[in-house]
Structure 1
Amino acid sequence: MNSSPAPLACKELYHTVRQYGQRPLWRLATEFLQREELGRHILRYCVEMNRERSPRKTSNKIFGQQFRYMICFNLISNYMSWQRGDGEPPTLKMLQETGFASPRHVADLIALLRDSNHVIAQRQTTDRRLIYLIPSPKLLLEVARSPLSFLKISEDIKPADRSLANVLVKNPDFLALWIGRSDEEFKKLDTVFQPFANIVQFSTRDAGYLILTAVIGSYYSNIYHEEPWETGLAPENLARRFGVSRQHVRNLFSEARESGVFAVNRGQLSDINAAFVSEFETWSVGQMAHYRLLAEEIANLAAAGATSEA
């Protein structure tokens, strides 16, 4: 395991995605990767993902794990496809056929989302047995939390003519379409998730990705001292913030140490693999580029609609 010094911008994409380097998404990602201040931007992303809000614990429990998050992504995508006339009605049965989890686990998650008002169950007047699953604005904002944070960073690095994030946040239909388009691109060819093995591994665990952002935030905070990572990485602090047990956090840290990714001692990051820093930086610019290109697409649709109505 090698401690990485204060990073200059990685000039090469992480090795698992270099084969995609000529695609528009990864060309833009490479442009972002060259910025010397990239680390500061990633730190700001990590700060946002670790921001404590009182209702967040329940939300972290629902959305802070890969299968639950992907089911929500699919629910929104199914709904938007149906709205556009391109897909089947957004029912529980359709969602259970995605294969992300067992039908029972999907049903349990949807019941939880209905109870928390993240999903609206709309019974059809023509057939009272038929229930459509409608994503609420609350669900859209939860699912879009990380994507919007990456989009805002991309706009800090490369300003747009108008705030793309504002275009999306102010109109739930645009936000849902943005998420749906992301899911469509993901299903065509996944170059922004599966190539990043360590990130995928963490995301399969409860609050695993969020805990990972705390580790990365701590790393960059040690480099850019003006933004200290005040709570450190003490398991009790992370457990309280993300609604998991201290032992769960300790287990994640133990696995990371054993696999040579990073090491945490006494609540502080003591070592991190330079290759893992490169992996997370490439992951980050890939997310920025993916969501930036789709946001520009949606913003152009919004502008065209406004022009036609004028």
Structure 2
Amino acid sequence: MLDDHFRARIALLRSERDFRPAVAGYCQGMIEPAQIVWPSHKLLNQIGRYVVSFMLIHNDYAWRHHGGPRPTLTVLQAMVGSSPRQTAGFVSALKAGRFVTAVADRGDGRVKCLQAAPALVTEIARSGRLFVAAMDAVTRRDPGRAGVLDGPDRLGELVRLSAAHVLRHGTLIAPFPRVLHFAGRDCGYPLLTALVGAHYAATVPGAPAAVSLSLRSLAERLDVSRAHVGNLLGEAETAGWIRIAGGHLTAFDPTLLAEFEVWAAGQMLFYDDLAAAILAEAPAAPVPVRASERAGLACVPVDPGIPTGGTAP
């Protein structure tokens, strides 16, 4: 992905006047609560669990709209980095929350196909859609592409195309070790966006206000313990990446900021290219929505035994 041509596009994008304000808006969107009553920050914002959901959506949409293989648990287990047992356990948790449904295949009732509920698609596609919105802001598109993507059909297609690229070319996050470090921890990536957003709030005119970086505020926002947030921030401070005093960011490593900005610029270009391809095609066939899936409001008990994995998207 990061060939010379793409790196040149990243450099050009980072030089745009509105780049940092746009990324600040992305960071604000990533730290906002989910639109569903479910501990999604706790369960989805760890890269191994995210990848399971990401590939599950890919398989579902490839099957329903593009003649792909049946999206069974066995197929999913062969695609992700977590163990078959971990993957099955996490899929069971998604089923319990009514974010995944096992549907009997019409041709063979013994085969159960995993279908993603719209609420899961929306949450997994959140980052990609927000990156498209950031490109809308930089290019001052009106209407923007992100608004047209705001629905499970096209968001699911955005996830499918992104996952298909990962399957062909490998992970997108691997060249960014510190971004990957945060993403590998429960709620680490949203925490990183909160830190970057706080830096922009102090340095970029017109950037959204920073969220409080107190342990209590972050723990409540991310639905994790104060101790966990404290551990993550402590690791970052020990590494020399940040300094926080009185709930406010007082220092941010410029090399970490540069790494995040290159990551963000690449993601903006990547997802914007996918969005352009989606919008250039005929609308996808509507995804059937069951009554039990429509709201996606079931709560999943917080279970410390819910598995994690280690593969990066």
TM bucket normalised to smaller: 0.7 to 0.9
For 1:46, the equivalent position in structure 2 comes to: 27
How far, CA to CA, are the matches of 2:34 and 2:53 in structure 1?
A: 21
5+ residue gaps in structure 2?
286-313
SS at match of 2:159: helix
SS at match of 2:267: helix
Moved more, 106-115 or 285-294: 106-115
- Of the three residues 127, 141, 153, the one matched with 1:146 is 127
Work out whether residues 29 and 288 of structure 1, in 8 Å CA contact, stay in contact via their aligned partners in 2.
no
For 1:30, the equivalent position in structure 2 comes to: 11
For 2:238, the equivalent position in structure 1 comes to: 258
Structure 1 residue 100 and structure 2 residue 81: aligned? yes
Moved more, 54-63 or 33-42: 54-63
Cα–Cα, structure 1 residues 287 and 83, in superposed 2: closer, same or farther, change >3 Å?
Answer: same
For 1:173, the equivalent position in structure 2 comes to: 153
Per-residue deviation, residues 239-295 of structure 1 (Å, max 9, x unmatched): 111011111111111111222222223322122111111001111111100000010
* TM-score normalized by the length of structure 1: 0.84
Work out whether residues 57 and 241 of structure 1, in 8 Å CA contact, stay in contact via their aligned partners in 2.
no
Work out whether residues 176 and 259 of structure 2, in 8 Å CA contact, stay in contact via their aligned partners in 1.
yes
How far, CA to CA, are the matches of 1:243 and 1:158 in structure 2?
A: 35
- Of the three residues 93, 99, 104, the one matched with 1:123 is 104
- Of the three residues 50, 56, 69, the one matched with 2:50 is 69
Work out whether residues 28 and 208 of structure 2, in 8 Å CA contact, stay in contact via their aligned partners in 1.
no
Cα–Cα, structure 1 residues 246 and 255, in superposed 2: closer, same or farther, change >3 Å?
Answer: same
- RCO higher in structure (CA 8 A, sep ≥6): 2
- Of the three residues 201, 205, 209, the one matched with 1:221 is 201
Cα–Cα, structure 1 residues 87 and 69, in superposed 2: closer, same or farther, change >3 Å?
Answer: same
Cα–Cα, structure 1 residues 290 and 85, in superposed 2: closer, same or farther, change >3 Å?
Answer: closer
Cα root mean square deviation, aligned: 2.4
Work out whether residues 192 and 286 of structure 1, in 8 Å CA contact, stay in contact via their aligned partners in 2.
no
Deviation at 1:36, TM superposition (A): 2.5
How far, CA to CA, are the matches of 2:246 and 2:108 in structure 1?
A: 59
Work out whether residues 243 and 252 of structure 2, in 8 Å CA contact, stay in contact via their aligned partners in 1.
yes
- Kindly provide the amino acid, as one letter, of the partner of residue 21 in structure 1: D
How far, CA to CA, are the matches of 2:269 and 2:130 in structure 1?
A: 12
For 1:20, the equivalent position in structure 2 comes to: 3
SS at match of 2:86: helix
Structure 1 residue 197 and structure 2 residue 177: aligned? yes
Cα–Cα, structure 1 residues 237 and 157, in superposed 2: closer, same or farther, change >3 Å?
Answer: same
Report how many aligned residue pairs link the two structures.
285
Moved more, 110-119 or 291-300: 110-119
- Kindly provide the amino acid, as one letter, of the partner of residue 4 in structure 2: G
- Of the three residues 155, 171, 187, the one matched with 2:136 is 155
- Kindly provide the amino acid, as one letter, of the partner of residue 121 in structure 2: L
How far, CA to CA, are the matches of 1:261 and 1:49 in structure 2?
A: 20
* TM-score normalized by the length of structure 2: 0.83
| 4+ long deviations beyond 6 Å | none
Cα–Cα, structure 1 residues 65 and 262, in superposed 2: closer, same or farther, change >3 Å?
Answer: same
How far, CA to CA, are the matches of 1:65 and 1:194 in structure 2?
A: 15
For 1:8, the equivalent position in structure 2 comes to: none
How far, CA to CA, are the matches of 1:56 and 1:46 in structure 2?
A: 21
Work out whether residues 51 and 80 of structure 2, in 8 Å CA contact, stay in contact via their aligned partners in 1.
no
How far, CA to CA, are the matches of 2:147 and 2:235 in structure 1?
A: 39
Deviation at 1:206, TM superposition (A): 0.6
